[in-house]
Amino acid sequence: MAYKTNTSGEYVLITFSRFSHFIIASIWRPSDGFTQPNNKQKDPDQELPWNTPFNMTMPKVLLAAPFFPLTYAFIAYTGYVTIFMFGGCDGFYFEFCVHISSLFQSLQEETRAIFRPFEEYLKLTPAQCARLELQLRGLIIRQNSVFELISFFRKRYTVITLAHFVSAALVIGFSICNLLTVGNNGLGALLYVAYTVAALSQLLVYCYGGTLVAESSFELSRVAASCPWSLGAPRQRRVILLLILRSQRAPTMAVPFFSPSLNTFASILQTSGSIIALAKSFQ
């Protein structure tokens, strides 16, 4: 009997199960601590090596039997998930911002298409005004749906975005401090510069994504204002004016204390440069 996965819950469950099996299969590989080469005879006096997937210091009790298999699986699983989580989290945020920008661009093209048949008219008939109002109302409904989607995503990503900015600020601060104090040699300076560039790159992804969302909404208001909306009756004019006003109140990916945008990123760079110059003046 064929098994059918006809519900979204079953599909999600199967997907996550396969992902978990893939992770476990990738981390649970034989190591030097479990296997010995076949062509070498095991020395009974030789201590069995217990190697971890990452170079880290652990309590000795966790690196011996019977806890070593659990320690190995825990270190590998948390390490791999952490590495791929940061890239996936930032990538998903930026992909969502690009998707929202594309939705606003589609609304811009739809606005142009609505007014394109009336470009040669001097005045619209009542039937044309009614059809125009119906199309504009559908456009506003889709615009409100995009705004609701942005609000839904922003609430889910508030803690993540705030944590990214706080962690990046700490990395930049400690890197600059160490660069000015102990990073006098070439290798140390290069290491701290790499940390700073990595943190700034992470902030740039979030700030550029927030700018894409805001500018796309502003562009919709400019497109609507450039269309021949004055041909309609006062009722249709009010509808298009509401569309313009709603677009000018651009949505943001704001979190507590700040809003990710290129202006925010520029302020971060200016503040960092000022702190470096001030610290250099005291040396």
pLDDT in tens, 29-87: 444 444 444 455 556 666 666 777 777 777 878 877 788 888 888 877 777 666 677 77
Q: Which of 139-148, 179-188, 252-261 has the lowest mean pLDDT?
A: 179-188
**Structural domain containing residue 238:** 80-281
Q: What is the pLDDT of residue 169?
A: 82
Does residue 93 sit within a domain?
A: yes
Does residue 6 sit within a domain?
A: no
Q: What is the pLDDT of residue 152?
A: 92
Does residue 225 sit within a domain?
A: yes
Q: What is the pLDDT of residue 19?
A: 44
Of 188, 187, 168, 170, whose CA–CA distance to 178 is shortest?
Answer: 188
Q: Where are the alpha helices (DSSP H) in the chain?
A: 8-27, 68-115, 126-181, 186-226, 234-248, 262-281
216: number of Cβ within 10 Å: 23
Query: 159 versus 183: which is more confidently predicted?
Result: 159
Contact 150, 213 (CB under 8 A): yes
Q: What is the pLDDT of residue 280?
A: 67
Does residue 42 sit within a domain?
A: no
Does residue 1 sit within a domain?
A: no
**Average predicted confidence (pLDDT) for the chain:** 77
Q: What is the pLDDT of residue 266?
A: 85
Alpha-carbon gap, residue 154 to 50, rounded angstroms: 45
pLDDT in tens, 119-136: 777 778 888 888 888 888
Q: Report residue 6's pLDDT band, with 50, 70 and 90 as the boundaries.
A: very low
Q: What is the pLDDT of residue 184?
A: 61
260: number of Cβ within 10 Å: 27
Contact 246, 140 (CB under 8 A): yes
pLDDT in tens, 207-256: 999 999 999 999 999 998 888 878 878 888 888 888 888 888 888 887 77
Average pLDDT over residues 102-112: 92
Q: What is the pLDDT of residue 104?
A: 93
Query: 173 versus 12: which is more confidently predicted?
Result: 173
Single-letter residue type at 95: E
Distances from the Cα of 82 to the Cα of 57, 59, 170, 180, angstroms: 18, 21, 19, 30
Does residue 256 sit within a domain?
A: yes
Q: What is the pLDDT of residue 109?
A: 92
Does residue 14 sit within a domain?
A: no
Number of domain units in the chain:
1
Q: What is the pLDDT of residue 49?
A: 67
Does residue 53 sit within a domain?
A: no
Residues paired with residue 258 on neighbouring β-strands, in sequence order: 255
Alpha-carbon gap, residue 221 to 75, rounded angstroms: 51
Of 85, 89, 80, whose CA–CA distance to 25 is shortest?
Answer: 80
Cβ-proximal residues to 127 (8 Å cutoff; 6+ apart), any chain: none
Looking at the predicted structure, is the pLDDT value of residue 277 above 60?
A: yes
Looking at the predicted structure, is the pLDDT value of residue 94 above 50?
A: yes
Alpha-carbon gap, residue 138 to 20, rounded angstroms: 43
